[in-house]
Structures are given as structure tokens and as C-alpha cells.
Structure 1
Amino acid sequence: MARRRRFAVETAVAELEGAHGACVVPSGLAAITAALLAVLKAGDHLLITDSAYGPGRRFSNHILTRFGVEVEYYDPLLGADIAKLFKPNTRAILTESPGSYTFEIQDIPAIATAAHARNILVLLDNTWATPLYFKPFQHGVDISIQAATKYMSGHSDLLAGTISFTEACEPLVRQTVRDLGISLAPDDCYLLLRGLRSMDVRLKHQEKVALELADWLAARPEVKQV
């Protein structure tokens, strides 16, 4: 039963994102850390968008650097110019679009094109866009990460994360998740499948309310900018 529920939710997530496969883990941060550990080793150079999720930044600054990974942050609006930051040891780029807190939209196709020309992997935190509004693997992403706690769950009763990947990245991710001993409990897999069924309806309503609120704020004399 436990394996069937996990396989069911992993299959659903992979289909939504257009991925070769997916793993489910206990939180969004677990998805970030496992994905980074899957592709990095001592001596590698990692580029991270400066709008990245705070706990992911802390992991990179405190843990990855301690084990010999060079971490560098870049302007999320850099686009194809990110190639100017590449080094001989650049292994991966961690993108996030929209970015946490400041919600910049990154030019993922341009970043992916530049990265793949140098055999650099592109990781995307797709939490805020969700696979309903951005299909990461159609735009050159190698590994997609989500905090399923938010839109995918949608009911404030679940912590979960997902890691989706291309066929080439599957062995790296699956082996790392197994080695770390992190997995999602069967009851949580059920709750995540429940949330997926209503995600489309919930996101459309949230979009409608957000636009109404933005229009109201834009009309207020005490609000300088929305």
C-alpha cells in the first residue's frame, strides 16, 4: 500500500511537469537539499539566483560550502548573460521563477541554453508557478523542485516536496534520495493526491482574488506602487 501510494503521486507529479520521473520527499526544503546533493561534489561551483528561498540559501551557505562547494549568487534578471559567471568548475544553476519574496520572472530558456552549451545542469524551484502555469522541461530544465506543502497540497495539513527530473538525471536523484533515507509517508501521499485534484480550481480562484486586490491597492492614494 505504501509503495503504491508513493508511485501514484510520483507518477501524477511527473505527468503534470512533463518529466521523465519524480520523487516525493518530506518537505520543500528536503527537495532542494536532496536535488543539490545529487548533482554537486567537492570542488564544484554552484550559481544560485539571489531571489532563492531563504532556507535553501542557508543550506547552501552553511552546508555545501563546508563540504567544498563554491556558492555564488546572481541577479535573477541576468538571463543569457549568466554565461559571464561560468567557471571551468560550474556544475549547476539553481533558478527560481517567480522568485521567493520578490517574484522576479527569470528567462529560463535563455539560462538553460547558455548552461547546456557548457554541460551545466539547470535546477528550477517551480513552487510558485506550479506545473499548471510553467512546464519546466519544455524550457530546458533538468531538475524541477516544488514545495508541495503550498499549492499542491492546498489544505494546510501537509508538508511535502517533489523532485522531478529528466531521464539523464534520474539515477543521480533517486540514488541520493535513497541514500539520505527521505521519503513521504503513505498517508501524506494520499493527502497530496487529494490536493492535486483541486489545484486547478484553487489556483484560478487565487489568481482572481489576487488581481482584484492588486487593482484595489493600485487605486488607493496611500499606495505608491503595486
Structure 2
Amino acid sequence: MSDVTAISAGTFHNLALKADGPVIAWGYDAVELTAVPAAAMSDVTAVAAGLHSLALKADGSVIAWGDNSYGQATVPAAAMSDVTAISAGGGHSLAIRSQPAPAPVFGATSPPALATVSEPYSYTFTASENPTFTVGSGTLPDGLTLSPEGVLSGTPTREDDFTFTAVATGSTRTTAETAPITIKADEVPVFVEDSPPASTSKGVAYAYTFQAVGNSVSYSVTAGTLPAGLKRPEFVGDS
């Protein structure tokens, strides 16, 4: 026999682990101590022998066979994942589990709730544990995508309200999910006329109503100063 990486001696039998993963067993076989199950013929990283046999798989699960007079060969659910070490006694078994990594925690900010059709949009989700990001439920705005790094970007192509959740998945498959996020995609408003009359006289009533085509259009002054006596939103008053 060659390429053996680990061995264990039980009360009546022996176990050897080969480099390519299978377990070899020999000795007294009154309770099928040497009847290695198929699940222990590959991807095994450690073995332990007592009155029964244990094999630790690469995925962190435990395989047991042989004498089960005291339940030592009945693997509990808690030993079916994240196990890093095993030991077999005469009538009992031991397993050490790793401490699972904490679930990701999303950052405090949220993506902008408004987007404009035909204009670039970008937001980056952040979360602890260096996770991978995916869309959980709902639908992203048409034209936007979410990258595994958490970048929500693209150019919206259609007006509507879009609701979705983002999921962050950590290295040990722990996950976190945002509350539902709604992004409203609107067309850019288009003014019907170019501008109000360019001149007026002091003391003469002046009125002009801006008109624009679009959903939920509002008006504001973003630069400069209105003439004294005029007010928003329609630019009416005495000049």
C-alpha cells in the first residue's frame, strides 16, 4: 500500500486514508467495521477508528459506519457541516466545528430613489465580510445591472417604478438582504416654450407660466436671481 496520508487503529480494525481520497479498512468485520461506504471513497480528509469508523469529508460533513450500540455511528445534524476535526472512542464520537463567519451587514446608505431615462445612473452597495452581490427579489430598472461587486449601474430605458432587493452573500454562504428598494425612472422634462419675455417695465404687471412635458414636473430657480417683485412658481407679480 502506498500514498497513505493518515491512519487510525480501532479496537478490532484499522483505517488508512489514501492521498487521492478513499478510505481503506481491514481487520475484524463482525459489525461491518471494514465495509467502507461509498461516501467515504472520495474527498475524505481525515479518519478515526474506535468500535466504529469515522471519515471527515472535504465539505465538512462526517460519515460513520460500524458498531452503533450506543449511537456512536449515528451522525447528528450538527456534525453534517463545518466540521474540522473528528475522534472516535469506544462508544462515542467527537467532532469539532468551525465558527461560521458572521453574515454580511449592509452599509447605511441606499441608492438614489430617482433615475432619469437616457441618463447614466450609478450606485455602489457596500457590506461587511467582502460579499458577492445579487438581486434577491423584484426587478431592476430596465437598463440597469448589479455586478457581483455591488455596482448598480447603467442607463434607464423606460419610465416606471421598479422595486427590488439586493442580497449580499459571504464566503461561508451566509447572506443578508436589504429591505425593498424602489427606484423611479422618469423622462427628462421638456419645456414647451424657450423662455419668458426678456423685458418689462417697473410697476407693470408681469406674468409668464413655464410649461414642460414630463411626469411630476416641478419648477425651481437653480441659478441667478429673480427680478424684485416676481415670485415662483409662475413668475408673476409687479416688476
TM-score class, shorter-chain normalisation, is under 0.3
> Which is strand-richer, 1 or 2?
2
> Which is helix-richer, 1 or 2?
1
Question: Which structure has the larger Rg?
Answer: 2
Give the TM-score, by structure 1 length: 0.20
Give the TM-score, by structure 2 length: 0.19
Greater relative contact order: 1 or 2 (C-alpha under 8 angstroms, separation 6 or more)?
Answer: 1
